[in-house]
Amino acid sequence: MRNILLATTALTLSAGLAFAESHGKTIRMGTEGAYPPYNYLDDKGEVAGFERELGDELCLRAELTCEWVTNDWDSIIPNLVSGNYDTIIAGMSITDERDQVIDFSTPYTLPDPSAFIALSSDVDVNTSVIAAQTGTIQASHVASMDGATLVEFATPEETIAAVKNGEADAALADKGFFEPIVEAESDIFFVGEDVLLGGGIGLGLRESDGELREKFNAAIESMKDDGSLNTLIEKHLPGSATF
Amino acid sequence: MAFKLNPQLSTGAAIFSYCTDPSQIEGLAWLSCYLSTGKHMALYWSVLTVLALLAVTGPAALAFGFGGASAARSRVAPLRWFGKTYIALVRGVPDIAFFLFFVIALDQGIEYLRHKALCPDWDQPIRQGNDFIVCQAAKMPLGNSPQWVHETYGFALAVLTFAIVFGAFAANVLYGAMRAVPREQLETAEAYGMNHRQIFRRVLVPQMWVYALPGLGNLWMVLIKATPLLFLLGVEDIVYWARELGGSKTPRFTDYPHPDWRIWYFLALLVFYLIFTRISELVIARLMRRLTLGQATTAGEAQRKAA
């Protein structure tokens, strides 16, 4: 038994040492992988979507070697701060509250409207039970709505399921996330007015990582300048505002 | 020498040749294509990950438990205090808090020590506001190591954490079992002139298992079902994949669109866990019969009479 323990320790240590010699840092891109079309896992189990294409292009322009990792939304900020990956690129809107803990790059989307969905088009979102993902700007928005009751879920997928099985009357999330679902399913409708929340989506970075932030900012700027960012937005997020 | 936790899945090449356009096929053929996507391979792989974790953690937790129990009944006071503190402390803290706090603390502790050893001329503070910053060479694993190293490291942390948590419970069970061995047995051994160490090894330990097994069996069952805690440590376990795969999929993002199928995936998990715990029960029952043989317990006496 002790041998097993020793072997595991030895394994981690030697794995660490073996790579200690080679330099050059890989930027680890942390994402959720459960928020299409921003980021999701494709049939092969690899990260895909708007942010995958965007992130790969940004890394190319900033001359960085990047690698994709998925992490639970709930612990996505703590794991960035403790250094398990170097960026959050997970459809995270820039808010003051988050900005106190981490830093953001310049936004790579304009503030995207958030929309309500429900099973019938005459649900009054101001007086109903509304599902939203924990720790999102949508959840804090519902919490601040007077007549509405918030129910929170760990994944965006579960908010849709809650609407379908009647646990919630409506759900609130980025319109870009709901659009393909409303399109594909005949019994789900957009209801109420769209709301504009947050300051656009940006890359989350550690506050001490100023250099990396500058690199990404420059890359985002160059993609804005030559119009390639708009092309990507039009491709993946039809209906969203472009720069 | 290291085993890969997540093999580079073959890039898109479907296993069956007829899978190139899934929208044109249906029935069993569609199902066979669907169940052999890279994502499903990741699910099957996570089953192996969970089994591997159990195979390593079971013995490791038992070792921690044995060490804890031996320490708790040691005649050396500091060692006894250590054993008792370990048991009381870990048993008292909720698993989920332990998993969130301890693992991050352990990870940062390792990086802190490596940082001190590898980067002596580093002049910036390690704690900058919310950030924990160590030099690149001290990162565990290194920032540029491939993903599987990160996963193996996460797996090793998971094994260690599970072993410490379940070790404390096992220690308590073993501690009780050691005290349950009839005093006369030990006195007889003393009368034969054995010293403390000999009595421990030859009389106490062989006899205590029969008292420990019911408690250890319970622990094993709980351990089997505790594996979803793995995801807290970044190891993707079966429950994570069942939820991800079962969620409804729209045609835009996959070749295999389907509605919410989570109930089927969770049903499969249910069957998996039931089969697994049933097999465990059978093995434990066998083991119990084996250990009872010739013991000074009621069951042992019954076996002797029947023979």
Q: Give A212-228 pLDDT, tens digit per residue.
A: 999 999 999 999 999 99
Average the pLDDT over A5-11 and give the result. 44
d(CA B83, CA B75): 12
| Tens digits of residue pLDDT in A77-93 | 988 988 888 999 999 99
- What would the DSSP string read from start to end of A155-184? SHHHHHHHHHTTS-SEEEEEHHHHHHHHHH
HSE at residue B277, side-chain half, CA atoms within 13 A, is: 15
Residue with the two structure tokens 């921690």: B64
d(CA B110, CA B103): 11
Mean pLDDT in chain B?
A: 85
d(CA A87, CA B132): 14
pLDDT the model gives residue A18: 37
Answer left, alpha or beta for residue B268, where phi above 0 means left and psi between -120 and 50 means alpha. Answer: alpha
pLDDT the model gives residue B72: 94
Length of chain B: 307
| Tens digits of residue pLDDT in B70-88 | 999 998 999 999 999 999 9
pLDDT the model gives residue B119: 83
- Establish whether this prediction's ipTM goes over 0.85: no
Contact A117, A221 (CB under 8 A): no
Q: Any idea what the Cα angle at residue B217 is, between residues B213 and B219, rounded to 5°?
A: 120
Nearest CA-CA distance, residue A185 and chain B, Å = 9
Chain B contact set for A78 (CB, 8 A): 104
Cα torsion for B250, B255, B258, B262, to the nearest 10°? -100
Percent of chain A with pLDDT over 90: 51
Cα torsion for B187, B193, B196, B200, to the nearest 10°? -70
Selected residue with higher pLDDT from B12 and B144: B144
Please report the number of interchain residue pairs, chain A to chain B, with beta-carbon separation below 8 angstroms.
Answer: 156
Q: Decide if pLDDT at B142 tops 80.
A: no
Residue B156 and residue A25: Cβ atoms within 8 Å?
no
pLDDT the model gives residue B149: 83
Q: Decide if pLDDT at B13 tops 70.
A: no
Report chain B's C-alpha Rg in angstroms: 25
Nearest CA-CA distance, residue B196 and chain A, Å = 23
Chain A contact set for B136 (CB, 8 A): 23, 25
pLDDT the model gives residue B14: 56
Nearest CA-CA distance, residue B158 and chain A, Å = 11
| Tens digits of residue pLDDT in B196-231 | 999 999 999 999 999 999 999 999 999 998 877 777
Sheet-wide strand order for A170-174: A149-153, A129-133, A170-174, A113-118, A189-196
Residue A45 and residue B41: Cβ atoms within 8 Å?
yes
Q: At what angle do helices B205-225 and B262-292 cross, to 10 degrees?
A: 180
Secondary structure letter of residue A131 according to DSSP: E
d(CA A50, CA B227): 33
Q: Decide if pLDDT at A12 tops 80.
A: no
Residue B145 and residue A79: Cβ atoms within 8 Å?
no
pLDDT the model gives residue A17: 38
Of the residues A8, A46, A103, the best mutation for testing chain B's interface (the one with the most B CB atoms within 10 Å of its CB) is A8
Mean pLDDT in chain A?
A: 86
On the 0-12 / 13-18 / 19+ scale of CB atoms within 10 A, A1 is: middle
| Tens digits of residue pLDDT in A23-57 | 367 899 999 988 889 999 988 889 999 999 999 99
The whole-model pTM stands at 0.76
pLDDT the model gives residue A26: 84
Q: Decide if pLDDT at A208 tops 60.
A: yes
Chain B contact set for A33 (CB, 8 A): 244
Residue B132 and residue A83: Cβ atoms within 8 Å?
yes
Q: Decide if pLDDT at B99 tops 70.
A: yes
Average the pLDDT over B112-126 and give the result. 82
Chain B contact set for A4 (CB, 8 A): 56, 59-60
| Tens digits of residue pLDDT in A126-147 | 889 999 999 899 999 999 988 8
pLDDT the model gives residue B4: 36
Q: Decide if pLDDT at A5 tops 60.
A: no
Residue A12 and residue B140: Cβ atoms within 8 Å?
yes
